[in-house]
């Protein structure tokens, strides 16, 4: 086995160990919470509610079946995701591993396990999100090119990369890095992502200001209010890549002409706020 093959095997082995360790922690937590919920109802309380012993047994069997069905599905997703990682180039795997070991931008953006191989909590997930990344690496994140493109462009929000794939209609084998090398330039693609991120941010800030108490959770309402917003469309993305507009040209095209030709969502947005956010993201990128 060559040194590269050995390094590749190590990276995949550590990723496998990490994701299954996270899975075991997650299922143990589920079992603990289920036991606590069950213990919260005393025998007297259940009888008072008219819940018979037979009904309790049926409910317990159904819960166990449902839990195991969900876990079988999750295990299958993890196994499939690990297979996909196994098809990645050694270069991509090495860059991915280097980022994890240094707690780099990709690890931070994806809220995944840290370099020591132990599942760590993220902001929203008690036992980390390595499993979410592995399970969704192809279906949600579009495979190897996503990792390669993120590490190349390091956007403020990883979703803008996925938005760019859709807007540009890139086939699954072609990423933004390849597009830059073959047709445009890294700086042109980087500018596309920065402009798209800035528009996306000011759109969502405006929508957040419009959120009212309608009975949903704020997150659900924000999702409903934002799912129609357009910040990168095919025409707009190609225009940025081919024309490399200045900030003044962007403002003229978007906020004086209202951007109707691009099919963007610009109602209520401020040119000054857009430029402020765009400059902020550029400053972050240059750090």
Structural domain boundaries of the chain? 1-141, 150-287
Residue 272 banded pLDDT, cuts 50, 70, 90: very high
Q: What is the DSSP letter of 255?
A: I
Encode pLDDT of 154-194 as tens digits.
998 999 999 999 999 999 889 999 999 999 999 999 999 99
Residue 123 banded pLDDT, cuts 50, 70, 90: very low
As a whole number of angstroms, the distance between CA 11 and CA 100 comes to 10
Can you give the pLDDT at residue 249? 93
Whether residue 254 is predicted with pLDDT greater than 80 in this model: the reply is: yes
As a whole number of angstroms, the distance between CA 96 and CA 11 comes to 9
Can you give the pLDDT at residue 215? 52
Which pTM does this prediction carry? Answer: 0.84
Tell me the range of 8-12, 44-48, 203-207, 219-223 where mean pLDDT is highest.
8-12
Token pair 């978007």 in the structure block, residue = 254
Residue 136 banded pLDDT, cuts 50, 70, 90: very high
Helix 186-210 to helix 144-153 angle (10° resolution) is 90
As a whole number of angstroms, the distance between CA 19 and CA 16 comes to 5
Q: What is the greatest pairwise CA distance in the chain?
A: 74
Residues written for the chain? 287
138 to each of 7, 80, 172, 212, 236, how far by Cα in Å? Answer: 23, 9, 10, 36, 26
Can you give the pLDDT at residue 22? 87
3-state secondary structure of 212: coil
């Amino acid at each position: 086995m060559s040194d590269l093959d050995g390094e590749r095997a190590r990276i995949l082995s550590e990723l496998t160990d990490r994701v299954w360790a996270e899975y075991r922690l997650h299922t143990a937590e589920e079992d603990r919470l289920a036991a606590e919920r069950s213990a919260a109802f005393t025998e007297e309380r259940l009888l008072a509610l008219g819940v018979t012993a037979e009904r309790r047994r049926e409910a317990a069997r159904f819960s166990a079946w449902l839990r195991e069905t969900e876990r079988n599905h999750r295990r299958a997703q993890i196994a499939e995701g690990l297979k996909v990682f196994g098809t990645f180039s050694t270069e991509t795997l090495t860059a991915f591993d280097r980022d994890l070991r240094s707690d780099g931008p990709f690890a931070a953006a994806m809220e995944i396990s840290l370099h020591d191989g132990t599942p760590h909590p993220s902001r929203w997930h008690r036992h980390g999100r390595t499993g979410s990344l592995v399970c969704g690496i192809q279906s949600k994140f579009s495979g190897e090119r996503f990792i390669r493109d993120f590490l190349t462009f390091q956007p403020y929000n990883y979703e803008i990369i996925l938005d760019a794939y859709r807007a540009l209609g890139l086939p699954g084998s072609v990423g933004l890095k390849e597009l830059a090398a073959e047709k445009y330039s890294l700086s042109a693609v980087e500018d596309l992502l920065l402009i798209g991120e800035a528009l996306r941010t000011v759109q969502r800030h405006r929508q957040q200001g419009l959120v009212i108490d309608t009975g949903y959770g704020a997150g659900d309402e924000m999702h409903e209010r934002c799912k129609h917003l357009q910040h990168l469309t095919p025409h707009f993305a190609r225009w940025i890549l081919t024309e490399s507009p200045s900030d003044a040209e962007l403002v003229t095209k978007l906020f004086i002409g209202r951007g109707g030709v691009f099919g963007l969502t610009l109602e209520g947005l401020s040119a000054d706020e857009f430029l402020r956010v765009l400059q902020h993201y550029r400053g972050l990128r240059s750090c």
